[in-house]
Amino acid sequence: MVLVRRYVRNAGANVARVVASTLVALLLPPILIGALPRSSYNTWLLVLQLAAYVGYLELGVQSAMSRFIAHGAELDRIEDQSRAISSALFLMTAVAVVGMFASLGLAGAMPHLFADIPPDLHGDTRVAVFLVGVSVATGLPAAVLSGAYMGLRRYEVPAAILIVGKLIGAALVAAAALVTASMRLMAVSMTVANLATHAALWMVYERSRFRVPLGRSWISWPSVRAVLVHCASLQIWTLGTILVSGLDLTIVGIWDFQAVAYFAIAAVAVSFVGQLQGSVVAVLMPEAAALHARRAQEALGRMLIRFTRYGTLVLLAAGLPLFLGAELLLTLWVGADFADHASTLLRVLLVANTIRLVSLPYATMLVGVGEHGRVWLSPIVGGVINAAVSVAATMAYGAIGAALGTLSGGIVETGMHLAYNLPRTNALRVSPRQLLLGGMLRPALILTPLLPLLALAATRRLDLGAWWVTGGALFLGVCAAGYLAWRIVLEPEERTLVTRFLRSMRQIPLM
């Protein structure tokens, strides 16, 4: 029961972060679209994309700290925890300096990389990339502290700080756009918010009663080497992530600049679903590390199947409204022009990311048990196929080609996880067949009553205006899908737990 409470608390903290990100992503784009010329908005999106590349220098240290701290806590080795976090801070401080120089290089290269950026925006573009990139680089050491909190199962601490920082940053950027429409001032606003967030994380950690002791005396080269080895194996996954999701907008910016905003809006909408699933799955890493420390292989296998089932159910339940109502939702959010140009992009990206993310619990638990370095082939192969198809198809067909590249890469990567990686994972005693049937396909049964509506939506023939017909069909389909989720997807003990939770919520006084 303690494990369930801890899981709910930590998952709740992650969900709160997703809600904050969702609010920002919902409210900020319409403001910027209305305040900026389309060319300036497209350029701002590419500024954020290039600055985000600096964030990949994080090297996976946050997940590494989560594992090291959780593993040390399970074995009651405080000195090991202190050496790990102090050495990681030393390492990431050096990497942050590299990130600042990388920001300078990206700033100089941006106007040459995207030939369609108007010449009068080149100066502001360079300044914006440099400032935002530097603010991202200064956050690299702070990622160590976030990982430490995660390893201690105190997700709510970094979540609260990051939520406040994100909301303040969005408000400052929106104000700068509305008042001045200056990309340079928007970048300054974001930089100030990022730096303040990183500083707050440091100050709170120093005063926290949950903190692991740190300092220069704890830095040791064996610990630095251990962190580097762990992070080096994660870089295969990082490279795969860059190839899968980090290059698409850049590719669209190079070969179809006018479609940058459409593609970005579709990607943002789809990211809501991935973030929601990620908030549920992220808490697996320290729990997997703790079970691995006890050598509980059977329990790890059961955990993998269960949370793959949960994660897939979340992906489908959150993605169905987006798929069925893409045109209506986009019209209400950013206008009819985006609904006309971005709805197909949204649907293809949604299917692609759902296929790729069903294996996220497996990838997360691999890091927790320390076997992520043994399964490097699938992210590389999936990423290379994604990038190659995206470039070729975008050159031929425009932005939809990048979405098709994401789809092809997702199919390959998930297939390789099942056919190649899982049989080679020693710590997780589960067969590919068990994971496919019990974790992935079982939740997909909820789609069966909605298949006719999904087919109409995919061909843009679903008329939501005919509410008496479409609404009735949707109501019946959703009721049938809910019944399947309750009776077939969930286990009896899970239904009992949900029922008890709902009853307990009814007993909470409202005043």
How many residues are recorded in the chain?
511
Please say which residue of 219, 234, 254 terminates a domain.
219
Of 219, 242, 257, which marks where a domain is finished?
Answer: 219
- Shared domain for 409 and 366, answered yes or no, is yes
Predicted local distance difference test score (pLDDT) of residue 340: 92
Q: Quick one: 402 and 363 in the same domain?
A: yes
Residues 123, 117: contact at Cβ < 8 Å? Answer: no
Clarify whether residues 228 and 305 are in a common domain.
yes
The per-residue pLDDT for 243 is: 73
Q: Note whether 147 and 241 are same-domain residues.
A: no
What per-residue confidence (pLDDT) applies to 3?
53
Q: What is the pLDDT of residue 510?
A: 41
Instruction: Give the number of domains in the chain.
Output: 2
Taking a C-beta distance cutoff of 8 angstroms, is the pair 460, 344 a contact? yes
Print the domain residue range for 30: 1-219
56 and 126 both lie in a single domain = yes
H or E element in which residue 434 lies: helix 432-434
259 with 144, same domain? Answer: no
Q: Are residues 481 and 494 in the same domain?
A: yes
Answer yes or no: do 203 and 291 share one domain.
no
Q: At what angle do helices 61-74 and 78-113 cross, to 10 degrees?
A: 170
**255 shares its domain with 382:** yes
In Å, what is the CA distance from 344 to each residue of 354, 389, 452? 15, 18, 18
Q: d(Cα 311, Cα 301) in Å, to the nearest integer?
A: 15
Amino acid at 99: G
pTM over 0.85: no
Are residues 248 and 181 located together in one domain of the fold?
Answer: no
- CA–CA distance, 263 with 332 (Å, rounded to integer): 17
- Looking at 219, 250, 285, the residue that finishes a domain is 219
Q: What's the rounded Cα separation, in Å, for the pair 429 and 435? A: 11
Q: 182-218 as b/e, with b when 16 or more CB fall inside 10 Å?
A: bbbbbbbbbbebbebbbebbeebbeeeeebbebeeeb
Of 381, 233, 322, 372, nearest to 22 (Cα)?
Answer: 322
Instruction: Kindly give the residue spans of alpha helices, DSSP state H, lying in 282-376.
Output: 284-293, 297-324, 326-334, 336-357, 360-369
**How much of the chain is in helix, strand and coil states, percent to nearest 5?**
85, 0, 15
pLDDT score at 213: 67
Segment-wise mean pLDDT, segments of 10 residues, the chain, 511 residues:
58 74 87 93 93 85 74 67 80 91 92 89 93 93 82 77 91 94 94 93 77 70 76 70 79 93 92 80 69 72 86 91 91 92 94 91 78 72 89 94 93 89 79 89 91 88 68 85 89 81 58 40
Q: Domain check: are 18 and 140 in the same one? A: yes
Looking at the fold, whether 212 and 75 belong to one and the same domain comes out as: yes
Task: Answer whether 231's CB lies under 8 Å from 58's CB.
Answer: no
